[in-house]
Amino acid sequence: MRRRAILGYGAPGVGAVALMLFVGWWQVDGPGGPEPIGQRPVALTAMDFRLTDHEGNAVGPETLIGRPTMAFFGFTYCPDVCPTTLSDISGWLDDLGDEADEMNVVFITVDPERDTVETMAEYVGYFHPAIRGWTGPEEQIARVADGFHATYERVPTESGDYTMNHSASVFLFAASGRFVTMIDYHEPREFAVPKIRRALEEETEGAT
């Protein structure tokens, strides 16, 4: 699994300025800031889709209600973002210890043409055992992405094949199905894990 390097500080004066800029970014545009209302996923209770998990079981939004949920969109042919993020998620789950058993963790493909149930089963097997792979018909993937306000598109390559561009954030929902927050791509572990704990601590009442 790939691990990120921690950047060092420069001179004390430069470090102080950098810290102030970082705090401002964190509170306004960064992971500590609120997501714009129009970009927030709807509650899981308001979604309607039908997919299949990597073991062949039928799943939908109701599968996720009752336990906090961590969800990520991607595809198995993804060269970097997906394996990196799934490795990060695996590390976060290791940090949570027994608390990880209280969560739904789903990897939803945006490339159902290639990501069959069997392909998803093999792929998620390389990561933490709590991670479930979900696939299904293109129109159902589109319904899921619409509910999450996630984006994806098919991009042709020079070889005549294709790749996928897609949202790279991890979505967190409370056990009630209410959206809690997102974890940005490459967000440091010291910020990501507390966000997950926040979803774990949310009350199951008050779904919107």
Question: CA Rg, the chain, in Å?
Answer: 18
Q: Do the beta carbons of residue 85 and residue 185 sit within 8 Å? A: yes
User: 166 among the known binding-site residues?
Assistant: yes
Return d(Cα 79, Cα 116) in angstroms, integer.
18
User: 186 among the known binding-site residues?
Assistant: no
- Nearest Cα to Cα of residue 128 among 161, 99, 155: 99
Give the Cα-Cα-Cα angle 72, 67, 139 (nearest 5 degrees): 45
- Nearest Cα to Cα of residue 53 among 135, 138, 113: 135
Residues annotated within a binding site: 78, 82, 166
Question: Binding site residues for Cu cation, as ranges?
Answer: 78, 82, 166
